[in-house]
Structure 1
């Protein structure tokens, strides 16, 4: 196994085994006596009688049992059992390279390449015009997700999507005198965190996005937004989507504001 030895000697496992003289190849691959016996037989084509981590050999549970014997002590893997990846029969070597000096999934610059092997739809999204700096190597999937399992949805590192977003976007948290309800519920109501064509990771550009929840101002909107009256403006609520100035010209504190909005008991204008 000279080729394996050359790549293995600079790996994390090699360094760990050097510090623990009781560990070695047999810690992962099992006893080598039977393997040595059959490997020395001429023209032998049967099983190699060793624990193999190659794709298609053994079950995910059997392979992971060896890895978890050491790595389950880490709190980051405390939710592995029952997680999305575990329940889909992924084994550790589906993502990790155990014999190499560099494990691609542990490097921010190459981790998305590994994740997108399965999550191809997300690879498409992170390359859209508006995206987190994942293609630039400044962020990685594991900044938001714990691939080994979590108590939150979609393997989020925090207990909810919104708490995960607040890890970086603390200024959006508030509290504000007037809160925009989606900000306290789920950021993905308005944003697609992996990437969009619209700016600021918005699912669609305003005013189309705003009108998914909010009714336009009706006839007064032409005066309020400076929209030009055209035959198209006779449509529902007299809104001309193509020539308006946009909701955020007035409602620019979308995430929340401490400024008074109007005299109503429950103001929701989110004005400057």
Structure 2
């Protein structure tokens, strides 16, 4: 008992203001009391994790995360059960998320990737670090690209469904991870994007779409997700809908040579009621709303939808993003 009290006294000295390696050394010394009860049979193996690097003076001890826990170490007289530690991690715990996160951020808040944690969507939803991370384990799933999506998709059900669609980023194949595009600890951009905007995040891989172009396509310059669903789609190239329907969400359909109907097109339609002659004649060059936008795709002609550097001034107009 006397040795335990000495260890706890040393811990209080550390909490009173000692820092750096001295603080960590005191924590490690005080934590020796914990392993007398919580041995390898009680806790999973974490001998190869960063939290068990014995030679590193920054390595935390049990009390670094769980607090001094005086009542837990020395069961109070008359207590029927052993009191819980000061800070308990897990799903069914009475310790508030901000207190649990404070134990982690005491060491990890200096990392620039976590500087925007305060006020982020995950922090605002009262998620704790231990909701996603596993400390008492050699392998933390969220730290490996192949397995981190198992953790993320446990909550993000809609994205799980989208990733199962035919056209998707190669996350199910293990070639990408959620953190390649998102920073779960906070971001200055929307949707926890790693960059300050959706486009800048996409450009980290799709640099050829960055530009600047002589003739730009405004929706492309503003937000890639205007046309694409980055998590998956039933349409090729992860488009939200098929052309020309996608294009016509902004653009009105073509009408060539004043032809707005298809009645009387030879071999396709008969004359419409009340129509005396075919609407498609030599003066329309065979163009009509069917072969311009309905039977084909806008992309057959407008191939440079992300932007064009065509130096021509006319025929065809470079502003039409034809090449």
Interval containing the TM-score (normalised by the shorter chain): 0.7 to 0.9
**TM-align CA RMSD:** 3.0
Q: CA deviation at 1:144?
A: 0.7
How far apart are the structure 2 equivalents of 1:191 and 1:250?
20
| Of 46, 49, 56, the match for 1:11 | 49
Q: CA deviation at 1:35?
A: 1.2
Of the structure 1 ranges 4-13 and 211-220, higher mean CA displacement relative to structure 2 is found in 4-13
Tell me, what secondary structure is at the counterpart of 2:75?
A: helix
TM-score normalised per structure 1: 0.87
Paired position in structure 2 for 1:209:
246
Paired position in structure 2 for 1:30:
67
How far apart are the structure 2 equivalents of 1:116 and 1:107?
14
TM-score normalised per structure 2: 0.74
How far apart are the structure 2 equivalents of 1:190 and 1:21?
48
Residues 72-127 of structure 1 deviation map (CA, whole Å, 9 limit, x = unaligned)? 01000000001111111000001101111000011111111100111010011111
Unaligned ranges ≥5, structure 1: none
**Conserved? CA contact 2:120–2:186, under 8 Å:** yes
How far apart are the structure 1 equivalents of 2:131 and 2:173?
24
How many aligned residue pairs are there? 263
- Per the alignment, do residues 67 and 22 of structure 1 end up closer, same or farther by CA in structure 2, a change over 3 Å counting? closer
- Per the alignment, do residues 110 and 99 of structure 1 end up closer, same or farther by CA in structure 2, a change over 3 Å counting? same
1:73 aligned to 2:110? yes
**Higher relative contact order (CA closer than 8 Å, sequence separation 6+):** 1
How far apart are the structure 2 equivalents of 1:221 and 1:10?
74
How far apart are the structure 1 equivalents of 2:194 and 2:97?
24
How far apart are the structure 1 equivalents of 2:104 and 2:119?
17
How far apart are the structure 1 equivalents of 2:229 and 2:158?
13
- Per the alignment, do residues 251 and 262 of structure 1 end up closer, same or farther by CA in structure 2, a change over 3 Å counting? farther
Residues 239-268 of structure 1 deviation map (CA, whole Å, 9 limit, x = unaligned)? 44996121111111110111156639x853
Paired position in structure 1 for 2:125:
88
Paired position in structure 2 for 1:168:
205
Q: CA deviation at 1:33?
A: 3.9
